[in-house]
Structure 1
Amino acid sequence: MSSHHLVAVDWGTSSLRGALLDADGRVREEQSHPRGILSVKPGGFTEVFETLFGDWMRPLGTRCLISGMAGSKQGWVEAPYCPCPAGLSEVRAKVLEIEPGRISIVPGLNDSHDGVPDVMRGEEVQIFGAMALTGLRDGLFVLPGTHNKWARVKNGMVTGFRTFMTGELYSLLSQHSILARTLDTSAPLDEAAFLQGVTQSDNGQGLLHNAFGARTLALFDRMPTRELASYLSGILIGEELRTQSVHAAVDVVLIGSPALTQRYQLALQAAGTQARTLGAEATWAGLHAIHSTSHRKT
């Protein structure tokens, strides 16, 4: 194995994924485990890492680059945030060595709006990967998830971003509110009901009112139970999109799981905006890009 092989790891709160990349960034092997940072006992990160990735790391000269919550206060080692605007060089300069020459952690990004800080960990790597895969150096990069990110990129730099708790709010409303009594979250996406929710979110009445409609539509048999979860999802995502300023001339890239990017793509299309989508490959491409930046400097 070449010394230029890279073990790329995305270590999140509830799970982790890893990929073995060759010198050109091609994925040779992949693995995933339900071993997020919350499952690791204090002081146990080295043991977990060696158990899962020890075989990949054995050849002399192999490097590992880790992104995500492993760099948080609750993670392996806290990696201080890199302030926006930030590009590959700025992020690489703040990469934190855990085991010098062997294992490193990528810092997250921080931004501020009206004096209130905003942060991301892991999504910055996906954004750099998306830029590498698409060739874009300007645009709007949207990362749906539990805490959705909307990031602006100019000349290869993340100039700023905003976080929306849309995914977490959907989970709370659909599982722990009065709406949970009538919602079937296992039902497949109903595009018509979803887009109805997106449209309803723009009625000027606000999220707190519109969300209650997911109950009253069921109460008066105006919408089948199997469609209500899609409707609520549309309400929440529509509210999120309502706060954005998306112009037709701006390139929009969605990065995430197909189940989520499909919904955002539908909502954006309804607003007259086209978007391209990427998945897990953006993470590996981003870690490879940061690793390659390091090699160009050394």
Structure 2
Amino acid sequence: MQERHSLRMQRHLAAAVNIHGLWRRYQSRESAGLGTRARGAPPTGGVHPAPGLRLAGSSPSDPGLGPRVPTTSGRGSPSAPVLLLGQNPEPGSRAPPPAMSGPPGLDAWRARVRKDPRHFLHLCADLDCTPDIWALHDWSSWLTPFTREGLRRFDTAFYLCCLHQAPPVYPDAAEVVGCQWLSPSEAIKSFISKEIWLAPPQFYEMRRLENFVSLSDLHKFCLDRSLEGVQRLLPITLLTADGMVQLLPGDELYLEDSKFLEELISTEKKNEEIMKEGKKFHRVVIYNRHLYGIYVTLQSKYKHVYPENYIVNKSQL
């Protein structure tokens, strides 16, 4: 029976195929205009790699421990599974790791760890385990596009983890109130039918995951490109007469001038007119809250894959 890769949908894109978003608030501008960072924090915008995230072209010698530890410990997301490695793991295995059952009193442990990260060391000592940080694979990096002055923006690193079984998930009843396991195609179908909502990056990543027919294929792909890093994606928003287009790096309309990265651009043309004029596309066309189109005519970079085109028919409008 063919393996299926299941996805958990929650506030950010997450899965077992498990993608965790680590969110960092911007507070001051970077000189390159590609983002901002908290005062005194390591740079995360512009041409600087986020701590622990290996951007394409950066040195693979930086293993990226920083974000992986809070992600595996559950501090990166209120309901994230705790990823732990047993005392005698199989060395050099290329198979997806099994999910390890949670420890007794996990809710209490999670609360203590979120309050004081040092408690995570006590948890590992009690279980005689270590955080399975290398089960997390760099998958993508997104910066929140500019929409209006003063709006909070994020630098998001998505990690992917392949597991044979779905691990237990513990919503915190505040930021996350529930969870659901879906395949990428099921998630897209539920989004279009308005059962769930996906932000454009989530829709883009679901389409990207649809390139893989099995969990084994996806896991092998992650291992084979583990030293390549990821491309950082900062959309530029183009307002049209009947919607908007989020332009991504490489698109013929994408301008890397910092002025356009920190402002909205607009046109009196409709989405359809904009699409007829170009040939070099890397964009998400937003028709309404539950209908996006994805158009990519570029070759992928860094041994990654781009999503398959998702073309919206006139009957859907």
TM-score range, shorter chain: under 0.3
Pick the structure with more helix per residue: 1
Task: Between the two structures, name the one with larger relative contact order (CA 8 Å, sep ≥ 6).
Answer: 2
TM-score (norm 2): 0.27
TM-score by length of 1: 0.28
